[in-house]
A and B are shown apart, each in its own frame.
Chain A
């Protein structure tokens, strides 16, 4: 004798030997299940580790309880009978259909299908009951036939693919509780996920944002960190001191510091390094400290060294006085304090060896050149050739 579930005629899927019933196509339901389970596992495994320690161990416990409740509601919605009305027996069908008006051909020769409606008064209101030919029954009010599952379902709400079953009278409360509990659970996970992020990022936010804010303040005040530490322009310590570099208002300071003129590098590392004389040690950034011999210096001198200050010339004729051939954009510095004729005019820099010639190759004005003549040529003054 077969069990009733074995001869069930609809399109639903019967599982667990008749204990469960669902729609045939459960692929979207598996997606729903996967989304819930995977995000819950990630939350419990990662976020809850920090939250249990910093906040309270009840955070993951509550999350687990909610997760189990959501799953229970979802599984009940999916696998329970939504309120399927069992199909009428053949005898019932014969009895009902014998009472229906049969198909008729009216005077015009038009075919009229059998009437399958009957009127019923429900609390004063006329309601049309339909006869379901598939299920062989008068469909109760609020029942509807689901074409996906091929059943009449009592108080039919809708067929939900996410849940993989019809939602009807018997499983509507589970469906609704699933929605509500899942909403609450989602909010819970979201809130504690954000809390977790905030806790993790707290220190980095504090240090980086704090530091950024501090430097913004410094820029607005046209102060450097060093000056701030020393309190050079601290109004509280030295009330009469004003910051002479302050341009007046914070915005102007910002503009100048951030968008002001960009000074080019004065190192010119890509240029050839030139020797400058016996007593002169060339100190360059790569640590090369070459002491040029007197002989070499003389030859170097006669070779008209091209050591030069890029922004100090008598006139604009840079190219001719420059044996290296570099054309630099020298700015003509016209200084009233300059003597009429600089020593060694025609060359940018005169570097002479220690015999009565200026050993100091620095030209910053006439006075220095004169002074250089008197300086001790053996002094190991280092020339910073900033070329």
Chain B
């Protein structure tokens, strides 16, 4: 479907970007917090209304930002883990991991309700190392 040939380290003009994938990059305008750009990619123009897209990305951003916010419960959890010599982390799930799992569930939900009917598929950002949100155009 798309070119899966590994790119050489130097720039090569002959490799074309994949035609059936749109990428939503990270938004660093607010610092290093986990946030994706709400700008509609060019490939999705006409496939999905802009407001819907913005709302979807906005909701995902909210969950991700919550994962990185330090709250009282997060501090308590960290202190407790420290006192056990961090052996507690072998047994329990951290706040961050819980948030990422909820993002996965939300992405599944959106794939069912928003993207699926439009022949699109959103890939969970955790699968892409939180670098991009990949949206696959299932049908051109």
A residues near B (Cβ < 8 Å) are 68-69, 72-73, 76, 85-95, 97-98, 100, 102-103, 113-114, 120-123, 127, 129, 133-134, 136-138, 140-142, 155, 173-174, 177
Considering only residues 5-27 of chain B, those with a C-beta below 8 Å from chain A are: 5-7, 9-13, 15-18, 21, 23, 25-26
CB of B132 within 8 A of CB of A94, answer: no
Residues of chain A contacted by B4 (CB below 8 angstroms): 90-91
Contact assessment for A122 and B21 in the assembled complex, using a CB-CB cutoff below 8 Å: no
Given contacts A68-B85, A122-B30, A141-B28, contact A91 B9 (CB under 8 A): no
Provide the bound-state CA to CA distance between A4 and B21, in Å.
22
Q: How far is the CA of A100 from the CA of B17 in the complex (A)?
A: 12
What is the interface size of chain B, counting residues whose CB is below 8 A from a CB of the partner? 34
Nearest B residue to A97 by beta-carbon distance?
B11
Is the pair B31, A133 in contact by a Cβ cutoff of 8 Å? no
B9 engages A138 (CB within 8 Å)? no
Say whether A94 contacts B28, CB under 8 Å: no
Judging by beta carbons under 8 Å apart, are A121 and B3 in contact?
no
Q: Complex Cα distance A65/B128, Å?
A: 40
How far apart are the CA atoms of A76 and B128 in the complex, in Å? Answer: 25
B29 contacts the other chain (Cβ, under 8 Å)? yes
Which residue on chain A has the smallest CB distance to residue B5? A90
Q: How far is the CB of B86 from the nearest CB of chain A, in Å?
A: 6
CA gap between A72 and B90 in the complex, in Å: 12
Chain B residue with Cβ nearest A101: B11
Q: Are A91 and B26 in contact (CB under 8 A)?
A: no
Pairwise interchain contact A97-B129, C-beta atoms closer than 8 A: no
Once the chains are docked, how many angstroms separate the CA of A137 from the CA of B25?
Answer: 10
| Contact A133 B10, CB 8 Å, known A85-B129, A97-B15, A123-B31 | yes
Contact B28 A140 (CB under 8 A): yes
Among B7, B13, B30, B82, contact of A136 (Cβ-Cβ < 8 Å): B7
B7 touches A177 (CB 8 A): no
Residue of B nearest to A124 (CB): B29
Q: Are B11 and A95 in contact (CB under 8 A)?
A: no
Q: Is there contact, CB below 8 Å, between B132 and A92?
A: yes
15 cross-chain CB contacts under 8 A: A72-B86, A76-B86, A85-B131, A86-B131, A87-B129, A90-B4, A92-B132, A94-B2, A94-B17, A95-B21, A98-B16, A122-B30, A123-B30, A127-B28, A155-B32
Option from B10, B16, B131 in Cβ contact (under 8 Å) with A92: B131
Nearest 4 pairs of A and B residues by beta carbon: A86-B129, A72-B85, A95-B17, A114-B11
In the complex formed, the residue of A with least CB distance to B136 is A91
Q: Could you tell me the distance between the alpha carbons of A93 and B11 in the complex, rounded to whole angstroms?
A: 10
CA distance in complex: A343, B85 (Å)? 102
B87 within 8 A of A: yes
Residues of A within 8 A of B29 (CB): 120-122
Q: A85-B129, A140-B26 are contacts. A73–B31 as well, Cβ < 8 Å?
A: no
Known: A102-B11, A133-B10, A140-B26. A94 touches B129 (CB 8 A): no
* Contact between chains at B9 and A92 (CB < 8 Å): no
**A89: chain B residues within 8 A (beta carbon):** 128
With A76-B86, A94-B7 given, is the CB distance from A138 to B25 under 8 Å?
A: yes
Contacts of A136 in B (CB 8 A): 7
Instruction: Give every chain B residue within 8 A of A91 (Cβ-Cβ).
Output: 2-4, 17-18, 21, 134
Q: How far is the CA of A92 from the CA of B3 in the complex (A)?
A: 11
Most buried by B among A73, A92, A103, A141: A92
Distance in Å from the Cβ of A134 to the closest Cβ of chain B?
Answer: 7
With both chains docked as a complex, state the minimum distance between the C-beta of B74 and any C-beta of chain A, in angstroms.
13
The residue on B at minimum CB distance from A98 is: B17
Other-chain contact of B28, A73, A120, A177 (Cβ < 8 Å): A120
Within 8 A of A (CB), among B70-102: 78, 82, 85-87
Bound-complex Cα distance A76 to B87 (A): 10
How many Å lie between the Cα of A155 and that of B31 in the bound state?
12
Q: For the complex, give the distance between the alpha carbons of A93 and B5 in Å.
A: 11
Q: Closest CB of chain A to B33's CB: distance in Å?
A: 10
**Residue with the greatest number of chain A CB neighbours at <10 A, chosen from B6, B12, B17:** B17
Query: What residues of B have a CB within 8 angstroms of the CB of A114 in the complex?
Result: 11
- Which chain A residue lies CB-closest to B20? A91
- Bound together, the chains give a CA A136 to CA B15 distance in angstroms of 14
Q: Is the CB of B7 within 8 A of A90?
A: yes
Which residues of chain B in 32-69 are interfacial with respect to chain A, using CB atoms and an 8 Å cutoff?
32
In contact, A94 and B9 (Cβ under 8 angstroms): no
List chain B residues, Cβ under 8 A from A73: 85-86
